Amino acid sequence: MINVGSKVIGGGKPTFVVAEMAWAHDGSVEKARIIVDAAANAGADAINFHLTSLPDYMVPFYGAGPGRLSGGNDTLEVYKYLEKINLSLEAFAELAAHAKARGIAVSVMANDETSADFAAGRLNADLVMLHPSAVGDERLLRRIAATGKPFVIYTGGLRLGEIERAVEWAAAEGNSNLILQHGFQSYPTALEDNHLRAIATLKAQFGFPVAFADHTDGDDPMAQVVPLLAVALGADVIEKHITYDRAVKGEDYESALGPQEFAVFVERLRKSELTLGQPSWRPLSERQLKYRSVVRKRAVAAVPIAAGTVLSRDLVAFKRCDAGLFPEEVAPLFGHVAAAGDLAENTPLVWELLR
């Protein structure tokens, strides 16, 4: 289990919900604040920021191509586009303070060493995440792990050996507060690419809490369903994209929900948790006891029984009835008790009518 503020991740605790802002702010602090407020209003546990010092993260000539930017932007040169919408570290410091004032934790995807240091220092982030693009960067991974903060290793597109190596590097820095995040973004991710049953595999293989990053098409009703399936299959954390206005179709909009949709999502997730309950067997609840008393069959006279007749199995029928002994109560009485008086067919067999 991992402590994040007053919340606990793993160990059967309530699902930790992370509202993933990514680049949905489109370069506007005002829009970013709208997203933070929407996440807080919806009841999310944390908001996730992407901190990036672009010169340290990618080369200036990193060009256009499928799967690099949202929708119609995939023809743009990535570096130049992100340079226009990238928020400063100071802007994120302001947003982090606002998020904490709203009562939600701050999660940070640190894409480079400058951002990682800022996240752990000035921002005092509650969780730090490493994107799959950087999991092979041993120095950066160890730098984040060495802070001791809850550390999310994003496993999308990684081979099992690469995940094992990342976990070993983090462990070597003394950080056992690891969370492995399953899922990947392909603007949006096809349903068949989610492989949610792998959540249980990651848990069994590594023994750490597992998060699921959902990137289902926001227009597909399954966008409200897939994360709930992940919870049912053992996800301890759900990361879900959120945007200020889905209709604008800004960056990362494909798999994002708008403020109202996100609130509905969190509400459904919490109701789903109630429905799933706990794996351990528990004493029957008051409602279950009531149900049991109403529906279980009881012992009644199968035929008319004369007074003094010794009770036998052939004389007893089990039918739904408002009175009568239950099967396990009457079975030991066969051959040992008799009818205290004449009993008509279907008379409930209760203690008072037996001797």
* pLDDT at position 99: 97
Spatial contact of 114 and 141, defined as CB atoms under 8 Å apart: no
Count of CB atoms situated within 10 Å of the CB of 255: 26
Residue 293 and residue 261 in one domain: no
**Could you tell me if residue 321 is inside a domain?**
yes
Query: What residues have CB less than 8 Å from 316, skipping those under 6 apart?
Result: 299, 300, 301, 302, 330, 334, 349
How would residue 73 be classed by pLDDT, with cut points 50, 70 and 90?
low
Count: domains in the chain: 2
Residue 294 and residue 269 in one domain: no
- Specify the CATH number for the domain of residue 341: 3.90.1210.10
**Could you tell me if residue 265 is inside a domain?**
yes
* pLDDT at position 70: 62
**Could you tell me if residue 4 is inside a domain?**
no
Residue 108 forms beta bridges with which residues?
Answer: 49, 128
Residue 308 and residue 253 in one domain: no
Q: Among 276, 298, 319, where does a domain finish?
A: 276
Residue 265 and residue 296 in one domain: no
**Could you tell me if residue 7 is inside a domain?**
no
Once rounded to an integer, what is the mean pLDDT over residues 306-311? Answer: 96
Spell out a b/e string for 261-272, using b for 16 or more CB atoms within 10 Å of the CB, else e: bbbebbeebeeb
Convert the pLDDT of each residue in 197-246 to its tens digit.
999 999 999 999 999 999 999 999 999 999 999 999 999 999 999 999 99
DSSP code at position 123: S
Q: Is pLDDT at 320 greater than 80 in this prediction?
A: yes
Structure tokens at 194: 């989610």
Q: Which domain holds residue 71?
A: 12-276
**Could you tell me if residue 68 is inside a domain?**
yes
Spatial contact of 141 and 130, defined as CB atoms under 8 Å apart: yes
Q: Label each residue of 250-288 as H, E or C.
A: CCCCCCCECHHHHHHHHHHHHHHHHHHCCCCCCCCCHHH
- Quote the CA–CA distance of 170 and 304 in Å, as a whole number: 78
Residue 27: strand, helix, or coil? coil
* pLDDT at position 72: 62
What are the two backbone dihedrals, phi and then psi, of residue 288, each rounded to the nearest 5 degrees?
-65, -40
Q: Among 248, 276, 304, where does a domain finish?
A: 276
- Quote the CA–CA distance of 210 and 181 in Å, as a whole number: 6
Residue 153 and residue 175 in one domain: yes
- Quote the CA–CA distance of 130 and 3 in Å, as a whole number: 19
Residue 187 and residue 244 in one domain: yes
**Which among 70, 75, 74, 115 is positioned nearest to 92, based on CA atoms?**
115
Residue 291 and residue 239 in one domain: no
Give the distance from CA 316 to its chain's centroid. 51
- Specify the CATH number for the domain of residue 148: 3.20.20.70
**Could you tell me if residue 208 is inside a domain?**
yes
Residue 202 and residue 314 in one domain: no
**Could you tell me if residue 101 is inside a domain?**
yes
* pLDDT at position 66: 65
Spatial contact of 260 and 282, defined as CB atoms under 8 Å apart: no
| Mean pLDDT, the chain, whole residue set | 94
Residue 104 and residue 223 in one domain: yes
Cis peptide upstream of residue 279 (ω within 30 degrees of 0): no
Give the distance from CA 302 to its chain's centroid. 53
Structure tokens at 219: 């227009």
**Could you tell me if residue 152 is inside a domain?**
yes
Give the distance from CA 111 to its chain's centroid. 24
Q: Is pLDDT at 278 greater than 90 in this prediction?
A: no
Q: Among 246, 276, 306, where does a domain finish?
A: 276
Q: Is pLDDT at 75 greater than 90 in this prediction?
A: no
Task: Classify residue 264 as left (phi > 0), alpha (psi -120 to 50) or beta.
Answer: alpha
Counting residues of the chain whose pLDDT is more than 90, the rounded percentage is: 86
Residue 74 and residue 167 in one domain: yes
Residue 47 and residue 142 in one domain: yes
Residue 233 and residue 98 in one domain: yes
pTM for the whole thing? 0.87
